[in-house]
Amino acid sequence: MCFVSHSLSSSAAPPPPCDVLWAGERLLLLPERALWWPAQGTLFVADLHIGKAATYRALGQPVPGGTTQENLARLDALIDAHAPAHLVFLGDFLHAAQARTAPVLAALQAWRSGHAGMAMTLVRGNHDSRAGDPPAALGIRVVEEPFLLGPFACCHHPQTHPTHFVLAGHLHPTCSLYGRGRDSLRMPCFVSDAHQAILPAFGEFTGGWAMPAAPGRRFYGVGGSAVWALPPSRGELAA
């Protein structure tokens, strides 16, 4: 069961791991903004946007560096913790063609060399179409959506599938918690509906979109080292 947070109180005990049952499979919603499927040893991440900061700098914007190394270090930590056999990227691996700088590509190659035995699959997203596929030397299989894996349809864009439960990204979903004294906190979140789930953006240098409530929609906020199953919103209760 997931820990349910009703306010911004800091006195609550640390929550247990947040697990869900989607398409009859147990999955873990990770605070690193990734999804773990233990039965198949598969890790899902969405929207890395590798090289986004480099893209902005190429356009003359004063954006600090280091986000690529931060993203790869977070992936390393997840791999060390879960030892996945398969890593699935749900779209937007590279941000743009300008992201293909020598330092970014060298960092990616060094990172991939450290995980040479792991299968990796990229489901093409809208940014991948503009940035181009990852270099072939990285050994990342590139496929179009939907990529069917067990009971799941791995996609970048949220959608419905006639036979499979959709796992998607693209929207960079966020939600807000509200506490006493008009306190509020905006955070990334996982979002699930009857036939699909949307993952938060994994990349460090990404924005977010506040998804509206809808009948049957569930939100799982990501904050610090925990994921919370949030209570149904007033909008959902009124629907």
Could you tell me where the beta strands, DSSP code E, fall in the chain? 18-22, 25-30, 34-37, 42-45, 86-89, 119-123, 141-143, 147-149, 152-154, 165-168, 173-178, 184-192, 196-198, 209-210, 218-223, 226-229
Q: Is residue 5 part of a domain?
A: no
Quick one: which H or E segment has residue 236?
helix 234-238
Q: Is residue 108 part of a domain?
A: yes
170: left (phi over 0), alpha (psi -120 to 50) or beta: left
Q: How many domains does the chain have?
A: 1
Q: Is residue 48 part of a domain?
A: yes
Q: Is residue 12 part of a domain?
A: no
pLDDT digits (tens, 9 = 90+) for 131-171: 789 899 999 999 999 999 999 999 999 999 999 999 999 99
- Start-to-end C-alpha separation, the chain: 25
Task: Identify which of 40-44, 186-190, 224-228, 234-238 has the greatest average pLDDT.
Answer: 40-44
Give the domain CATH number at 101. 3.60.21
Residue with tokens 């990770």: 30
Residue 15 has a pLDDT of 62
Interhelix angle for 102-113 vs 67-82, to 10°?
Answer: 10
Residue 223 has a pLDDT of 86
Q: Is residue 164 part of a domain?
A: yes
CA 175 to each of CA 51, 54, 145, 181: distance values in angstroms, whole numbers, following the listed order? 26, 28, 26, 19
Domain carrying residue 73: 18-238
Mean pLDDT of the chain: 84
Quote the pTM value.
0.85
Q: Does residue 98 register a pLDDT over 90?
A: no
Residue 114 has a pLDDT of 96
Distance CA 114, CA 77 (A): 12
Residue 55 has a pLDDT of 54
Q: Does residue 7 register a pLDDT over 70?
A: no
Give the pLDDT band of residue 103 (cuts 50, 70, 90): confident
pLDDT digits (tens, 9 = 90+) for 176-223: 777 776 676 778 999 999 999 999 999 875 667 788 889 999 999 998
Residue with tokens 């699930």: 192
Name the token pair of 106. 């060298």
Q: H-type helices in 50-167, by residue range?
A: 52-58, 67-82, 102-113, 126-131
| Cα dihedral across residues 175, 179, 182, 183: positive or negative | negative
Over pLDDT 70: what percentage of the chain?
79
Residue 184 has a pLDDT of 66
pLDDT digits (tens, 9 = 90+) for 77-87: 999 999 999 99
Residue 9 has a pLDDT of 44
Angle, CA of 187, 32 and 186, to the nearest 5°:
5
Residue 6 has a pLDDT of 37
Residue 51 has a pLDDT of 75
Q: Is residue 86 part of a domain?
A: yes
Give the pLDDT band of residue 235 (cuts 50, 70, 90): very low
Distance CA 2, CA 179 (A): 20
Residue 13 has a pLDDT of 56
Higher pLDDT, 65 or 70: 70
Q: Is residue 193 part of a domain?
A: yes
Find out whether 222 and 187 touch, Cβ atoms under 8 Å.
yes
Over pLDDT 90: what percentage of the chain?
58
**Phi, psi of 121, deg, nearest 5:** -130, 135
**Phi, psi of 57, deg, nearest 5:** -65, -35
Residue 53 has a pLDDT of 53
Distance CA 222, CA 75 (A): 17
Q: Does residue 239 register a pLDDT over 50?
A: no
Q: Is residue 10 part of a domain?
A: no
